[in-house]
Structure 1
Amino acid sequence: MQYLGLAALLGSVGLALLFVMARMGWRLDWLLGWFKGCFLIMLLSLSALLGLAAWELQQFRPITQQGPVAVLELTEAAPQRYAATLAANGTKRHVQLEGDTWELQIQVLRWTGLAKALGLSDGYRLARINGRYVTLEKQRGRNAALSGRLYGTPQWRDLWHWLDGLDNPQFIEADAFVVRYMPMADKARFAIDLDAAGAKPAALNPVALHALKPAG
């Protein structure tokens, strides 16, 4: 009887609420307004997402084989500490690096399926440059040394980061190229060539060429 009584009480309250709703809004004008409001919010959110995606895409450049995409010049400021100047796309970025070698991370967007068939070119964005020590103990002590992030998008709205986390992205995929273990030397200049297969560094002056030669 207890549960039957509770069920009857809840049912009565439900019927009373239904009666009140019918009396106040039986024409469902409020429901139409609610749907319209939800639809407008959805359009606003989609517009904001597309705007953020557009801002991200304009930071990428098509991958071509028309010369280097960046030139790196190093100037020694102190033992194992360098001022790095990275020239790319008509701009120069200045970064402080520590260590014996440097590495450059490049984010890549690859078009697939229909987008690829339409002729869209894969794109790239210079992401980060790091300095690293050869000895593991010193590298750990410096907590990966100094590094320079080369674009300002926070991770929570980073298009490449979100695509990289998808299992089966449609039309576009996130990829990455990394140039690793390049020696640092005073006055050394390196070029970064890029094609669909990856990034390749090249020495631009005798100092860089000498630094690339094996010791001994």
Structure 2
Amino acid sequence: MYIAITFLIALLALLLVFWGGKVLLKGSWLLGFIRGTVGLALLAAALMIVLVAADVYSYRNLAEEHSVGTVSFEKLDEQQFMVSFADADGITQEFQLNGDQWQLDARMLKWKGPLARWGIKPAYRLDRLSGRYLTLQDEREKQRTVHQLNGSTYGVDVWGMLRDIDPRLPLVDTVYGSATFLPMEDGAVYEVKISHTGLLARPLNKQATSAMEQWQ
């Protein structure tokens, strides 16, 4: 019985191959299909290139160390803070962070080989702001908070794709730069700067300086 069923299925497959071959061998249909497929492929490639260009455009040129913004804190409750991040363009975003310390992360593209020799500078895009607890027990038991600052708006993540291909690409390095975790304190204000080595945060007022001294 199973041999007979197998034979019938094989016969049906052969009939489908025969009918499909007759359809494909019709010249006008085949040429139209090829033209349509090539045209759609070219349109898809063009759309992908546009999306890649849009994602790359979201990165900023990094010629030398400069400020990327300020981070200020308002205490809401124990281990809960309202954080205001004002970037270099003066655009302010507010987030609630839980924990004792904060960290700002950025994605960096560092060009190598001929691209570097042509004078193309590294680029960066601020990525996320996160909080952390001091004790291991709090880290395990309490809610952690991470907020996205800038993402890949158009669904194409060039940095992620390059990193997935190979971390040792000949023309570019995909680097994740992070400011060291620093204490959150009511009224504290920090300035965040970026250089070729990553992010660096410095206290801007008495509250931030005092918090860092106590933490160290």
TM range (shorter): 0.7 to 0.9
Structure 1 gaps of 5+ residues are 1-5
Per the alignment, residue 178 of structure 2 pairs with: 178
CA contact (8 A) 1:102 1:130 kept: yes
Report the 3-state secondary structure (helix = DSSP H, G, I; strand = E; otherwise coil) of the residue aligned with 1:76: strand
Question: What one-letter code is carried by the residue in structure 1 that aligns with 2:158?
Answer: L
Per the alignment, residue 4 of structure 2 pairs with: none
Moved more, 116-125 or 94-103: 116-125
Shift of the 187–31 alpha-carbon distance from structure 1 to 2, 3 Å rule, reads same
Deviant stretches of 4+, over 4 Å = 12-22
Instruction: Report the Cα offset of residue 81 of structure 1.
Output: 0.7
CA contact (8 A) 1:107 1:125 kept: yes
Shift of the 180–155 alpha-carbon distance from structure 1 to 2, 3 Å rule, reads farther
Report the 3-state secondary structure (helix = DSSP H, G, I; strand = E; otherwise coil) of the residue aligned with 2:67: coil
Aligned alpha-carbon RMSD (Å):
2.9
- In structure 1, C-alpha distance between the alignment counterparts of 2:44 and 2:99, rounded to whole Å: 45
Report the 3-state secondary structure (helix = DSSP H, G, I; strand = E; otherwise coil) of the residue aligned with 1:33: helix
Report the 3-state secondary structure (helix = DSSP H, G, I; strand = E; otherwise coil) of the residue aligned with 1:32: helix
Per the alignment, residue 65 of structure 1 pairs with: 64
- Structure with max Cα Rg: 1
Moved more, 153-162 or 63-72: 153-162
- In structure 2, C-alpha distance between the alignment counterparts of 1:13 and 1:210, rounded to whole Å: 82
Instruction: Report the Cα offset of residue 204 of structure 1.
Output: 0.8
Deviations 1:125-144 (A, max 9, x none): 1101111101111112224x
CA contact (8 A) 2:129 2:146 kept: yes
Report the 3-state secondary structure (helix = DSSP H, G, I; strand = E; otherwise coil) of the residue aligned with 1:153: coil
Per the alignment, residue 149 of structure 2 pairs with: 150
Report the 3-state secondary structure (helix = DSSP H, G, I; strand = E; otherwise coil) of the residue aligned with 1:151: coil
CA contact (8 A) 2:55 2:154 kept: no
How many residue pairs get matched?
A: 205
Instruction: Report the Cα offset of residue 157 of structure 1.
Output: 2.7
Structure 2 gaps of 5+ residues are 1-6
Report the 3-state secondary structure (helix = DSSP H, G, I; strand = E; otherwise coil) of the residue aligned with 1:104: strand
Q: Give the TM-score normalised by structure 2.
A: 0.82
Per the alignment, residue 49 of structure 1 pairs with: 48
- In structure 1, C-alpha distance between the alignment counterparts of 2:215 and 2:119, rounded to whole Å: 46
Deviations 1:131-162 (A, max 9, x none): 1101111112224x122111243796322222
Identity score, percent: 25
- In structure 2, C-alpha distance between the alignment counterparts of 1:15 and 1:82, rounded to whole Å: 67
Per the alignment, residue 36 of structure 2 pairs with: 37
Report the 3-state secondary structure (helix = DSSP H, G, I; strand = E; otherwise coil) of the residue aligned with 1:40: helix
Shift of the 18–186 alpha-carbon distance from structure 1 to 2, 3 Å rule, reads closer
Question: What one-letter code is carried by the residue in structure 2 that aligns with 1:32?
Answer: L
CA contact (8 A) 2:65 2:196 kept: no
